[in-house]
Chain A
Amino acid sequence: MPPDASKPTATVKDNREKMLERAMSRHHYSGDALIEVLHAAQELYGFLSIPLLQSIARKLRLPPSRVLGVATFYHFFSLAPKGEHFFQVCTGTACYVAGAQSLLDVLERRCCKSGGTSPDGKVSVQSARCIGSCGLAPAVIYDGKILARLTPEQLNAELDRIGVK
């Protein structure tokens, strides 16, 4: 790359497109691999935009309705961009019994409803099915890291720290 690359964003984008293309070719552009391809696309772009879904449908030769149907069926796929910070509250039985709802209440009161992103784009909140860390209940995955045995007070303090009003 030249030292004064004038369009760094374009280079990044090209690269992502190429990587998605590679994921599709690895599966021989088979429609059966739609879920694998959507996983790859979300990992690269962070979320699945409608134009992205359309281009995947074209490349895998699938009706757009099927691609949208699959993308909206599974909880894992997100059709809107995620916030700066991401809280996933485990609502498995052990966490629920240990008070996960009170954590979710704090986030819903201060940020947004579960499954959404706060209006300022700062925080996304989601409830997760059991994350399998029942010994740490109640657990919250915060930007990919597990917060164990979390209390509403600790959660409030963290929200204060990252500047949520």
Chain B
Amino acid sequence: MTFEELMEQQARELERQRALSRRIYCCTAAGCVSCGAEAVRKAVAAEIKSRELDGTMEVCGTGCMGLCSQGPLVRTSDDGALYGNVEAADAAALVSAAPADDPRLAQRRIDTSTPFFVKQKKIVLANSGVVDPERIADYIAAGGYQALAKAVAEMTPREVIAEVRASGLRGRGGAGYPTALKWELVAKQPGATKYVVCNADEGDPGAFMDRSVLEGDPHRVLEGMAIAGYAVGAQQGYVYVRGEYTLAIQRLQAAIRQAERERLLGSRIFEDTFQFRVDLRIGAGAFVCGEETALIASIEGRRGQPRQRPPYPPESGLWGKPTLINNVETFANIPPILVNGGEWFAGIGSAPSTGTKVFALAGKIVNTGLIEVPMGTSLREIVFDIGGGVPGGGEFKAAQTGGPSGGCIPAEFLDTPVDFESLARIGSIMGSGGLIVMDKTSSMVDVARYFMEFCMEESCGKCIPCRAGTAQMHDILTRILKREATRADLEMLERLCVLLGETSLCGLGQTAPNPVLSTLKYFRREYEELLPAEHSAAGGER
């Protein structure tokens, strides 16, 4: 395909959509599907057919619309109205002349002027809920693949990297490493064979951001990967995706096929010498494979065990070749950066954390779902304005970010801006974006034990500090909860925190103590209260 053909396709599809009197968008992301979205979509399609409205109305599935707690969600294009808890029985009203006037639908209508909607800023999720992820024409109509066209036709690889550097984009997988720096490292390696890998092994419990992006806008990730391939000089990309994400896998497979058919992936992309293929690798259920060297081992068909670094993957990765590994959300940010320029992106958020971040809100919060906010938004805005606070007027106790590598943030830090540095300062991490709210009913010691059990089970067993240390820490935490532990046990727990952090081979073991450390720091009293009375005389300064 040439650039002209791409623009022509866009114009044609936009024209087609404009000719319709209404497009009915049904959210068909995993959350809505599991509460009956497919039945709604089928009912609407049948209704359109039986009323012979084929040429004037159409129904299409979309990615996550965000407010998962009120699924299935449906939006109508002509008036932009959003409806929640929709049932198949509402199909007739949805295709009627004025759906908003239907009394049942009026009740289901969701007010989109609330903070949940207006306080968000969507870059990564711009197309989620707007385009049909199973149709490449929809993505092209929304301006898709124009960033890749621009990169290949008008820019040198060096200029692409300069644009990413200007954006200040940092890795969205959790650690926040500057993306352009990583790209440069791979680009300057000698050799003709290099790889681009998209890490979609989203394993943190309570995190479903990457899943939603892959399900809702798979082409955006593929386009980001292809641009990265052009910038670093790679011809082959892999998406390593969790085996549990069946819907994301299906949509990615379909998206790759469509892009290849349109010659947007494969050889001679935009009539240039640039070629780039993408293949899927399906994970088999091992949390540690989110660690980059373990992920590489897994793509090579081996046990997902990490290895010592250096050499880092940019020097020696897949099959010993230079390999660029970025997270789903990082790649999804690339096309808009190239289209709008790095400076535009750098103007969003709070330097040195630029851009936006997608969060998955879950736990004791009214609006569970998927949100995207500028970096630097305060935790209070996220939990109370956007999230709607704790249901039933309960009291906020802590927010957990960063999954098993992160920490619990108590109420006194609610005004902390959410960016890489600020979260690290209060003993948590940004992580990949899971944010779980806990109220007074959650025991923080139990939460710490829960994450330790997770790390213990997911430890790959290669290094002893992690393999034996997580088991010991889990044992102590369990005994504390049973009120069988002594003060000496608590001290041992703290010593083990330091030991694991300093001596484990990879990130899993190094960060496994974080949930314990942060709960000890902010909720020490809960630990002390569980010690038998004679041992806790001095306890509880907080």
Contact = CB atoms under 8 A, between A and B. Distances in A.
Nearest to A30: B301
B284 A39 contact: yes
Interface string A128-165: 11111111110100000010100000000000000000
Nearest to B301: A34
B368 A66 contact: no
A92 B205 contact: yes
A130 B34 contact: no
Contacts of A69: 303
B400 interface: yes
B53 to A, nearest CB: 32
A74 B301 contact: no
Interface in A48-80: 66, 69-70, 73-77
Given A132-B244, A148-B35, 6 more contacts: A36-B281, A74-B283, A76-B285, A94-B362, A136-B31, A146-B34
Contact of A132 (B211, B298, B299): B211
B69 A93 contact: no
A75 B285 contact: yes
B206 A94 contact: yes
Interface string B425-467: 0000000001010100010000100100010001010000000
B421 interface: no
The contact size tier of chain A is 35 or more
A19 interface: no
A35 B205 contact: no
A132 B207 CA distance: 6
Contacts of B186: none
A128 B203 CA distance: 11
Given A134-B206, A148-B34, A93 B368 contact: no
Interface of A: 30-36, 38-39, 66, 69-70, 73-77, 91-94, 96-98, 128-137, 139, 146, 148
A73 B289 CA distance: 11
B363 A133 contact: no
Q: Which bracket fits the contact residues of B?
A: 35 or more
Contact of A134 (B304, B360, B438, B460): B360
B362 A135 contact: yes
B300 to A, nearest CB: 5
Nearest to A144: B246
Given A75-B285, A93-B400, A129-B205, A135 B436 contact: no
Contact of B286 (A33, A74, A131): A74
B208 interface: yes
A91 B244 CA distance: 14
Contacts of B211: 132
Given A39-B284, A70-B303, A133 B208 contact: yes
A96 B400 CA distance: 13
A38 B284 CA distance: 9
Contacts of A139: 34
Contacts of A148: 34-35
Contact of B301 (A70, A98, A131): A70
B302 A132 contact: no
A96 B304 contact: no
Nearest to A72: B303
Contacts of A132: 30, 202, 207-208, 211, 244-245
A27 to B, nearest CB: 9
Contact of A32 (B282, B283, B300, B403): B300
B244 A131 contact: yes
Of listed B34, B283, B360, B400, residue having the most chain A CB within 10 A: B34
A160 B284 CA distance: 32
19 contacts: A30-B301, A33-B301, A39-B284, A74-B285, A74-B303, A76-B283, A77-B284, A93-B403, A93-B450, A129-B205, A130-B208, A132-B207, A132-B211, A134-B363, A135-B31, A135-B68, A137-B362, A139-B34, A146-B34
A66 B206 contact: no
A69 B364 CA distance: 40
Given A93-B205, A148-B34, A76 B364 contact: no
A102 to B, nearest CB: 13
B206 A130 contact: yes
